[in-house]
Amino acid sequence: MAQQDTAAPSTQRGFLDAYFSISARGSSVRQELVAGLTTFLAMVYSIIVVPNMLGAAGFEQGPVFVATCLIAAFGSLLMGLWARLPMAIGCAISLTAFTAFSLVLGQGLSIPVALGAIFLMGILFTLISVTGVRQWILDNLPSGIAHGTGIGIGLFLLLIATNGVGMVIKNDGAGLPVQLGEVTAFPVIMTVLGLAAIFGLERRKVPGGILMVIIAISILGLIFDPKVTWQGFFAMPSLTGEKGSLVGSMDLLGALNPVVLPTVLALVMTAVFDATGTIRAVAGQAGLINERGHIISGGKALTADSVSSLVAGAVGGAPAAVYIESAAGTAAGGKTGLTAVLVGVLFLLMIFLSPLSYLVPAYATAPALMYVGLLMLGNVTKLDFNDSIDALAGMLCAVFIVLTCNIVTGIMLGFVALVVGRLFAAEWRKLNLGTVIIAVALVTFYAGGWAI
């Protein structure tokens, strides 16, 4: 009888619950769907930004738009159905900028060669993932730097969100590099009010509070902001433009040119540490770190985003990675792969519903990103200041992630400070070989001038 009693609830919960371990992780189907929609709205801007960036380098924006949606759909569905984690994948903005402005415009590579470099990067990235090298990096990530990465990404999210709405802007004059923007501007007002509303709704534990704020501000934008306009509902997609199709147009032989290979390695190194740090931070935010400090299904998560870059080169898009905006979904309660599956399905729909993407302005999602950034600053409490070298190396990592707007740079400086600090403190016995190897590899990467 006891066995029947315990088995009955499992049967009643249904396939979705059993497959994604929804109840086991303390969530619900509704909560996962709300989280998925929240993540999607937080990262849907990518289908506008990525085609614009690549378009400036000569890519045809129509086919790139479809490719961007396909990459996000494939990666997110793979993450959700295989790794079963609430992390969404899309074309990485930093690597998109590098592809457009460095590879094509800067180095003068043709678009097929650039796509070949992305595909080759995906192959190497996947090999590093499936052979366990990325997991080894995670295992040798000191506690302070792991938490420092989370803090730094939180600060980075705050900077991205506030800059995107004009709250914090570039200072073109003398003094510090940034300054306060126009505080009475409609986007800034909506952002501040939206963030305060999220504070209140989350305090009251209102289900879907973050999503409600995003939708409400989008509606206000449509009513009061002339820049937010109804541009239709449906548009037929096409992967073929006036110059032909980008699918399968990559030039692998051109990418294997000795002149191009250092660029491929730079893409790989950046993706390894950038995306790995992001996955660790989002997993920590979602409470998906086990008692040994490992990410649940971490190996599959690390492989999912690397395989997505293979697809990116094949369909004519930019390198893929887990989006830090996934943390908006985990803050909304996402804990399982169902969150990522919904994101993937919605990106598939966006191939046909592209006009709708213009109805979600930056200031509608900025409050969610700022809220997540603030939550991630809570990693400060996890630093062990009894081990001041580890804790301060983590803080250095966090600060330089936001000061340089580069996750890898922050991680590199954190590793250097930790290793050198241990040596000067005569605590070299606390260092393991893996930590030293990673530190040397990162320093070599930067000293060689390969850093992006």
396 located within any domain: yes
166 located within any domain: yes
Average pLDDT, the chain: 89
How many beta carbons lie within 10 A of that of residue 46, not counting itself? Answer: 24
294 located within any domain: yes
Average the pLDDT over 346-369 and give the result: 88
3 located within any domain: no
Instruction: Name the percent of the chain lying above pLDDT 70.
Output: 96
Average the pLDDT over 58-68 and give the result: 89
Model pLDDT for residues 24-50, shown as the tens digit of each residue: 999 999 999 999 999 999 998 888 888
437 located within any domain: yes
9 located within any domain: no
* Closest C-alpha to 405, from 339, 350, 452: 452
384 lies in which domain range? 16-230+250-448
266 located within any domain: yes
The CA-based dihedral angle spanning residues 256, 262, 263, 268, taken in that order and rounded to the nearest 10 degrees = 100
Model pLDDT for residues 410-446, shown as the tens digit of each residue: 999 999 999 999 999 999 999 999 999 999 999 998 9
Task: Please count the structural domains in the chain.
Answer: 1
Which H or E element spans position 294? none
313 located within any domain: yes
> What long-range pairs does 399-406 form, CB within 8 A, spacing at least 24?
399/152, 399/155, 400/152, 401/149, 401/152, 401/153, 401/155, 401/156, 402/152, 402/155, 402/156, 402/158, 402/159, 405/156, 405/159, 406/94, 406/452
Dist. CA 87–CA 83, nearest whole Å: 9
